[in-house]
A and B are shown apart, each in its own frame.
Chain A
Amino acid sequence: MIESPDLMSTPLLTHEVGSLDKPGWRVKAYAGKALEDRDLEEARSWGERVGVEDYEQLIALLRRSPLQAKEDKESVKRWSSRYGLRLQESAGLDAAYDGEQQRSEMYAWAVAHTNGFEWRGSVRAFDNKYYSKAAVTGPISLTEPYHADEFAFLKGIARAELKVPITGAYTIADWSFDERYFQDHDLNVAHAARRAARHQARREFILDVSRNVIRPNLEALIRLGAKWIQIDEPGGSTDPDELDLFAESFNESVQGLDALFSTHLCFSDYNLFFPGIEAMTGCRQFCVGFANYDSRDLGVSSEARPGYAVIAKFRDLPYRPALGLGVLDIHTDFIEPPELVRDRILYAVDVFGDPRRIQVTPDCGLRTRSWDVAYRKLQNMVEGTLLAKKDLGL
């Protein structure tokens, strides 16, 4: 295990980003449905494969399906959490979590535990993937710190360092409709005045989420002993005109709190972040997806690594954060060979000139992949990191 104070100076630290798919047995059992033999076999085989201790107890519980008692369903969620953690640990990651097995979804979970929102329906993200979208309609407050139980449970069983992912304020606001802060959509209002009012309303909305939702969650996690918290902001780069709000919301969320804070960004034109994120001085690491844009050919030249062209801008940030280098494309079942992972790392280390500022991660959560694909990807990521370390003499 790597001790927390050294996390940000450990060369080529490996970790996952966030969510994993939920196993069939977890989904069905939690929904109170009957399980089939193949579900039990899935629980058994993965329990064995990733070294889940006492997994036979889970099998016994699942054999009683359909489960109706709330405590049984909660137990299934915790088992799933344990499986997710062990999957990452047994893949060899330095820092891990549970693949967000106890949460519904990164946005839905946050909104469901927050006052002031109402659900509006499903919206497509891409292909046949959708998310539930809510509208802010009233004063925003936290019903209860919504990651505390999960963290307390994982802290008790983790072998690796824990990195807690929490959905950030900007993303929660950006993925919601605003029916409270900006209401005057009348096009007859002078255009410049309407734009200014809209921007001001966005700022109030985002900062209310920072202060009333994210910060109390962070405080609760820190009280429980969390050392590293990743603020997930996949919406953070959505609008270049709002990078000031994105940076302000991050700072407002973490200012003065005693933990290591990083952020995760994905699937955007990252050039748009600069210079806006120069203001995020409290961010010790940016975990960013790049493999999605990269070639699958081997090589360590800039021509061979087109997906990583922007990383020099992260290197040049004045507060010298680490870069969580996305080396696994999470939108495909292609299993990146260790040699490809190695070359992506070597290219980044060459650009940064310091392996302590490079960490190795997937592009994003592996939720859209099967556990088998996710596991093999992560194993190859770890193996590729070892190859890179060998090449670098680390």
Chain B
Amino acid sequence: MPLAVAAYQHGIYPRSEDVVAATRGLERGRVGSEDVDRTFQAEKEDFLLTQREAGLDYFSDGLLRWQDIFRPLVHLSAGLDARTLVRWFNNNSFFRAPEVTGELAVTAPEPREMQDNGDVPEPKVATLPSPYLFSRAAHEDHDRNALMMEVAREILRPVAQSLVSSGYRLIHLEEPWLPYFGIDAADWDDFEKALQEIHEVAQGATLVLHAYFGDAGPYVDRLRRLPVDAIGIDFVETDLDELGKEWGIGLMAGVLDGRASPIESVEGTVEFARRVADTLQPTSLFLSSNCELEFLPRDLARQKVLRLGQVSARLKESLA
């Protein structure tokens, strides 16, 4: 039976120059919020068109209104605030660290930034922060593993459940912290339990845990045993030869560099993806960028998405 291959674009997609101008204008009082809303809507439609043109298998809204990967969840939940600006790993990009101020509890089923996504075609892909990332990026002086469990149980679980019922068929969890900073051996069990909370309610959707911005090689054996459907690997940072063989789980291969402006060749990328499939023999193969595309100007990001579609189509042909 041929390997199932699908392509999708995860994470925050960059804003066009129109959105940049509109949001700048809003902050300076030169543009009204209705104009900004219209610009965001046009931008979302444009991104959906790009994904269609690329022939991707899942559709994302591009998280265009998300100020960072945590902010909509911070606003959604009681007991959280976001103030301190912190560098987003090794990028000239920053997030406001979630700050725990009380008991966590969602106040709505989904972040308001996702509530008007009825126009996103199915199957949809949603991107959320992994509970381990959330707990480590947050300002928290006490037990981070307890926070990880609370975030998983009180925020990510109900949100994931709601998303699945709204037509999301793939939930992509961003996990750059683990390969970038590492994880203590003692924390794996709690991480596994936290993911289990989400996995239980994500039945009917594919749950992907994406380890990126670092080398996943040292963690691969344990990653493969986590309760998710696929593990995402950043192949710009990770050596394929360090990932073993016969994975027995799905793989999301990050094969396009979301932080470099040159557009990868179709032939070379397909050749590499083919080698990934042959070497790791995953149960399913998803193709995407190695990280979110937010670090690229929009026009370059669009070219990467179109290239992703070309690579996917060619790989499907070669594996058929």
**What mask results when residues 196 to 237 of chain B are scored 1 for a CB within 8 Å of chain A, else 0?**
000000000000000000000000000000000000000110
Chain B residues with CB under 8 Å of A237's CB are 87
Give Cα distance in the complex from A252 to B94, angstroms: 29
Residues of A within 8 A of B27 (CB): 128
Is B20 an interface position by the 8 A CB rule? yes
The CA-CA distance from A185 to B260 in the complex, in Å, is 9
Q: Is B142 an interface residue (CB 8 A)?
A: no
| Chain A positions within 8 Å of B26 at CB level | 128
Choice from B94, B257, B299 contacting A267 with Cβ under 8 Å:
B94
Band of interface residues on B: 35 or more
* Interface segment, one of B41-49, B78-86, B106-114, B126-134: B78-86
Segment from A80-88, A92-100, A173-181, A204-212 that makes contact with B: A173-181
Answer whether residue A127 sits at the interface, using C-beta atoms and an 8 A cutoff. yes
Q: Check B92 against A177 for contact (C-beta < 8 Å).
A: no
What residues of A have a CB within 8 angstroms of the CB of B15 in the complex?
122, 124, 130
How distant is the Cα of A23 from the Cα of B46 in the complex, in angstroms? 35
List A residues 89-134 near B (Cβ within 8 Å): 120-128, 130-131, 133
| CB contact under 8 A between A125 and B297, given known A268-B87, A331-B85 | no
Could you tell me the distance between the alpha carbons of A331 and B297 in the complex, rounded to whole angstroms? 24
Say which one of A187-195, A215-223, A277-285, A315-323 lies at the interface with B.
A187-195
- Nearest B residue to A331 via CB reads B85
What 1/0 mask marks residues of chain B from 236 to 257 whose CB sits below 8 Å from any chain A CB?
A: 1011110000000000000101
| CB-CB nearest in chain A for B17 | A122
Q: Are A123 and B295 in contact (CB-based, < 8 A)? A: yes
Instruction: Give every chain B residue within 8 A of A186 (Cβ-Cβ).
Output: 264-265, 268, 272
B318 within 8 A of A: no
Instruction: Please determine whether A121 and B90 come into contact, CB atoms closer than 8 angstroms.
Output: no
Residue of B nearest to A131 (CB): B92
Residues from chain A with Cβ under 8 Å of B295 in the complex: 123
Q: Is the CB of A121 within 8 A of B17?
A: yes
Contact of A123 (CB < 8 Å), options: B14, B86, B272:
B14
- In addition to A121-B299, A267-B87, 13 A-B residue pairs with Cβ atoms within 8 Å of each other are A121-B17, A123-B93, A125-B93, A126-B94, A127-B96, A128-B27, A128-B67, A186-B264, A186-B272, A188-B275, A191-B240, A191-B241, A237-B87
